[in-house]
Amino acid sequence: MKTRAPIGSKYLIFLAAIVGVISGSGAFIFYFLIELSTKFFLVGLDNFNPPLARGEVEIVKTDFHLGILPLPAVVALGGLLSGLIVYRFAPEAEGHGTDAVIRAFHRARGVIRARVPVVKTVASAITIGSGGSAGREGPIAQIGAGFGSFIAELLRLSDRDRRILVICGVAGGIGSIFRSPFGGAMFGIEVLYRRDNEVEAIVPAFVSSIVAFVVFNLIMSKFAGTPFEVLPIFKIPDVAIHSPLEFPIYALVSILAAIFGILYVKVFYAVYSYSKRLSIAPYLKPAIGGFFTGIIGLFLPGVLGMGYGYVQMAIDGKLAVSDMFLLVLGKIVATSLTVGSGGSGGVFAPSIVIGSMLGGFVGYTFHQMFPEIVVQPEAFVLIGMSAFVAAVAKTPIAAILMVLEMCGGYSLLPALMTSATLAYYLTGNYSIYSEQVATRAESPAHRMEMSIDVLENVEVKDAMVPAEKLVVVSPYQRVSEVLELIERTGHIGYPVVMHDRLVGIVTFEDVEKVPFEERDKTLVRDIMTKDLIVTYPDETLENALIKLVDKGIGRLPVVDRRDERKLLGLITRSDIMRAHAREVKKL
């Protein structure tokens, strides 16, 4: 199937808007299914009604209360059903989803199977609604990205455009369901890398995120019977920075966020690795993880589902400080059990809860000790949220923006910037997203363009072996001597020089063609190549490589432009590769 050349920016913006419409609609369907699943599993089968954040809108009205199953059985049942759906129809939809999108972007040309969004929607709604400790970000990222990939495949777009539409799908899904269009767009371009971003996708990502946000809120207002308005997920009082002495406490939150962030990553991937080694049917693993999550939920109900209601309780000062700290540890373990075992759900929302509880723990603790410094401890819930997400997701800008859009509290911007930036750097290369690469230079998606850019900016003289270090042969040496030279040095090609003048080149292939019995009497001048393809010291490595590839040869003599018989050096494909590696390392 042929693909088009990259399309124009206007057409790409139009397609980004289409992806936004689909992502926003998909986000609402996902939101509806999560609430429906929660009403059936947790409320109906167990009589557990998790609290909601004050900005969350209830759209499913049911009166279903059986209360026939204990909590661990309900969560295990959800894990089992989710596992059966995923491993039967789309195994790549297991886990938190964001890594699958990142992998598709970097290593699979942005291709995501069309069935993945559907499978991910249903499986994740069951996992979260039955009490699994997971979030909406991973599923909606994979759902939106799947829609973007599907449109690109349908229109036979180029790999570059398909990848951009995948990012648009992520931005649209995140921006709508988290009611954070600015943060969603930044998340889409940041989450692919630990130290970089996909800057060329920023405008399409903004378009998709804004359109999806509007579509989601429009549908929500119709179904919930509420006016169309921008409602943050969490309601907070007017908060502000009251003293410069709060900044050292922000730094403490960042340090703790980094420590517990690294712990989160290690525990999650330890459970993930152990789960992969278990010799049982894959669909049973999420059920086992769900069962143990349910047991934790008996003692710490805040670990169940997304847990946003408990974040609201922390903001409102309705949680004990000790409970906040226990929820930090409980949510880390419960999320690792739910998602690390193969359950379908995101790791971003748990990061929000963990960070909120960590910040609340510090804020309320210092408020008790220094009430004149920490005047509003609820503000630290937001500080911890921003710091922890930046630490584990490697998305510092998105973390700041999403916290602001989800909560309000814009006067805390300097505090959020301080905590997010510090936590981001303190965690180094630790990330909850294992498929992230450090920079664009390390992405297979950009490797070819990076290679060309590097080779265009390096000259042959910077990569060649200079003449004084070369092993050369005389046209009057015997072929048998050249063979001995090859055996001794390991080189398979030699310039042929007479009276300091380049007269030819001889290679192992030339020597090998001479019959064994004639090698002692055949001279180099009889087999060498005299019509030479050469390069020059000021020529780019790109041009030199083109000559090597076009002619199917392995080395080029480097000569003076004014005198092509004056040998200045030799360059091989290996020399070019080494030079390329050195330059990429500098990027």
CATH number at residue 111: 1.10.3080.10
Look at residues 383, 418, 445 and tell me which one is the last residue of a structural domain.
445
Whether 299 maps to a domain, the answer reads: yes
Structure tokens at 56: 């969350």
- Are 414 and 469 found together in one domain? no
289 shares its domain with 174? yes
pLDDT tens-digit series, residues 4-14: 566 778 899 99
The answer to whether residue 4 is domain-embedded is no
pLDDT tens digits, residue range 236-281? 999 999 999 999 999 999 999 999 999 999 999 999 999 999 999 9
Predicted pLDDT of residue 453: 59
Which helix (H) or strand (E) segment holds residue 31: the answer is helix 9-38
Query: What pLDDT shows up at residue 4?
Result: 59
Helix (H, G, I), strand (E, B) or coil at 568: strand
CA distance 167 to 329: 32
Does a structural domain hold residue 3? Answer: no
Is residue 121 classed exposed, middle or buried when 0-12, 13-18 and 19+ CB atoms within 10 A define those classes? buried
Which residue bears the tokens 């559907």?
Answer: 118
| pLDDT tens by residue, 389-432 | 999 999 999 999 999 999 988 899 999 999 999 999 999 999 99
Higher pLDDT, 1 or 586: 586
Residue 2 maps to a domain: no
* Residue that terminates a domain, selected from 418, 445, 472: 445
The region of weakest confidence among 25-29, 236-240, 261-265, 577-581 is 577-581
108 confidence band (pLDDT: 50, 70, 90): confident
**Does a structural domain hold residue 105?**
yes
Chain-centroid distance of CA 317 in Å reads 35
Residue 353 has pLDDT above 90, yes or no: yes
Max CA-CA distance within the chain?
A: 101
What's the domain range around 101?
A: 9-445
Answer yes or no: do 420 and 493 share one domain.
no
In this structure, the answer to whether residues 329 and 356 fall within a common structural domain is yes
Tally the residues of the chain: 587
More confidently predicted of 107 and 253? 253
pLDDT at 443 over 90: no
Q: At what angle do helices 116-129 and 71-89 cross, to 10 degrees?
A: 170
Kindly state whether residues 320 and 435 are assigned to the same domain.
yes
Residues 408 and 361 in one domain: yes
What are φ and ψ of residue 426, in 5° steps?
-70, -30
Domain for residue 196, yes or no? yes
Structure tokens, 443: 């992405």
**Chain-centre distance for alpha carbon 105:** 9
Fill in the DSSP letter of residue 39.
I
In the predicted model, what is the mean pLDDT of residues 117-129?
91
Q: What per-residue confidence (pLDDT) applies to 261? A: 97
In sequence order, which residues have a C-beta less than 8 Å from that of residue 171 and are 6 or more positions away?
144, 184, 185, 187, 188, 189, 205, 206, 208, 209, 212
State the Cα torsion 245-403-168-220 to the nearest 10°.
-170
Query: To the nearest whole percent, how much of the chain has pLDDT over 70?
Result: 97
The mean pLDDT value for 457-469 works out to 92
The more confidently predicted of residues 322 and 65 is 322
Are 39 and 118 in the same domain? yes
Compute the average pLDDT of residues 348-369.
96
State pLDDT tens for residues 159-206: 889 999 999 999 999 999 999 999 999 999 999 999 999 988 999 999
Q: How confident is the model at residue 551 (pLDDT cuts 50, 70, 90)?
A: confident
Per the structure, the count of domains in the chain is 2
Mean pLDDT over each residue of the chain, to the nearest integer: 91
Calculate the alpha carbon distances from 83 to 59, 73, 294, 334 in Å. Answer: 27, 15, 17, 17
**Residue 180 CB neighbours (<10 A):** 25
- Chosen domain end from 420, 445, 470: 445
CA 476, 480, 486, 487 dihedral sign is negative
Q: How far apart are CA 425 and CA 251, in angstroms?
A: 12
Which CATH number belongs to the domain containing residue 479 in this structure?
Answer: 3.10.580.10
Average pLDDT over residues 492-514: 93
Provide the pLDDT for residue 580: 82
Mind spelling out the 3-state secondary structure of 270-285?
A: HHHHHHHHCCCCHHHH
For residue 448, pLDDT beyond 80 = no
- Across the range 102-113, mean pLDDT stands at 89
Q: Is the pLDDT of residue 452 over 70?
A: no
Distances (CA, A) of 442 to 194, 390, 428, 498: 11, 21, 17, 45
Please report the pLDDT score of residue 450 as a whole number. 55
pLDDT category at 1 given cuts 50, 70, 90 is very low
The answer, yes or no, to whether residue 442 has pLDDT greater than 90, is no
Checking if the pLDDT of 449 tops 60, the result is no
Give the mean pLDDT of 569-580. Answer: 90
Any domain includes 233 = yes
Considering only residues 492 and 441, tell me which one the structure prediction assigns the higher pLDDT: 492
pLDDT at 249: 97
Q: Are residues 340 and 489 in the same domain?
A: no
Region 104-119: mean pLDDT is 87
Tokens describing residue 294: 């349910």
**pLDDT of amino acid 96:** 74
pLDDT at 63: 81
- Is residue 1 one of the residues assigned to a domain? no
Same domain, 281 and 135: yes
Residue with the larger pLDDT of the pair 85 and 550: 85
Q: What is the dihedral of CA 391, 396, 401, 407, to 10 degrees?
A: 10
Among 109-113, 203-207, 579-583, the least confident range = 579-583
Same domain, 409 and 425: yes
- Together in a domain, 172 and 313: yes
| Torsional class of 131: left (φ above 0), alpha (ψ -120 to 50), beta (otherwise) | left
Task: Read off the pLDDT of residues 281-320 as tens digits, 9 standing for 90 and up.
Answer: 999 999 999 999 999 999 999 999 999 999 999 999 999 9
What is the reported pLDDT for 264?
A: 97
For 216, phi then psi, to 5°, come to -60, -50
Return the residue matching tokens 């378009």. Answer: 207
Same domain, 394 and 463: no
